[in-house]
Amino acid sequence: MAIILPFSDPTAPEVLKQAIACIQDGGVVAIPTDSFYALAVGAFNPGALRRVQAIKGQRDHNPFPVLVSDPEDLDQVVAEIPPISEKLMQQFWPGLLTLVLKAKPYVLPVLKNQSGNIGVRQPNNPQICKLLAQTGPLTGTSANHAGNSPAQSAEVVLQLLGSEIDLILDGGETPGGEPSTVIEVEPELRILRQGAISQEALEKFFQ
C-alpha cells in the first residue's frame, strides 16, 4: 500500500529526498500538479514506464506526457525547439499548455506518438518543479485508471490506486478544472486538445 507524505510549501528536505529516492528506484509516485494529481516515474526508466502502463490500462497508444522543471531541460527529451514554441513557452509556461515537439531518438516509444513527437510542459507548481530539477523529466499522466475521472486529492489517489503505486505526495486538493491544452507545433501549429488555455488566448500565435 502506498504511503502518503506531506508535500506543501515549504516541503521538508527529507520528504523531497524520499520522493527522489523512490523515483530513482523505479517507483511510481503520485504528485499534485496545477490541475490534477499525476503519476510520476522517470522518463528514461523502462520498467517504471511499464508499471504506469499497467496501472493506466488500455489507452489506444495515447503517449504519456512529460513534465520538466524548466524550458532549459527540454534538451533532455526534445530534438529541436522551433521559434514559435519558444514564444508559446514565454507566454504560457509554467502552466497548462502541453507542447508536442520532435522527440530525441532515444526517447522510449511509450512517450512518443506515431510521428515520433513527445508532449511536454512545465507545471505551475514550484514544489513539483523543485522535484523535477532533481529527478529530471517525469511522466505527468493523470492519477487514475484510463477512462475514470482524475483525482484531485491524495485521499482519492489512495482509494483508487493505493495498492498499485509506492508513494503519494500530499499537496492538498488540486485546482481541477480543464486539463492542459495540447498543441502540436510541427509540421503546422494546431490544437490537438482544447483545455485550460482557450483558443482565444492562442489566436495571435496562429496568425
pLDDT, tens digit, 9 for 90 and up, residues 5-48? 999 878 889 999 999 999 999 999 999 999 999 999 999 999 99
* Residue in this structure with the C-alpha cell 503517449, named with its chain if needed: 63
> What percent of the chain is helix, strand and coil (3-state, nearest 5)?
35, 20, 45
For residue 163, the 8-state DSSP code is: T
Tell me what the mean pLDDT of segment 50-55 comes to: 96
Among residues 31, 49, 4, which one has the least CA distance to residue 131? Answer: 31
Least confident interval from 19-28, 31-40, 54-63, 191-200? 54-63
Residue 206 binned pLDDT confidence (cut-offs 50, 70, 90): confident
- The Cα 61–Cα 129 span in angstroms is 27
Are the C-beta atoms of 196 and 96 separated by less than 8 Å?
Answer: yes
Question: What are the DSSP E strand ranges found in 27-151?
Answer: 29-32, 37-40, 66-67, 97-102, 117-121, 138-139, 141-142
Q: What is the pTM of this model?
A: 0.96
In Å, how far from its chain's centre is CA 166? 17
For 3-206, the fitting CATH number among 3.90.870.10, 3.50.40.10, 3.90.950.10, 1.10.287.1080 is: 3.90.870.10
Q: In whole numbers, what is the pLDDT of the chain averaged over residues?
A: 95
Whether the predicted pLDDT of 147 surpasses 90: no
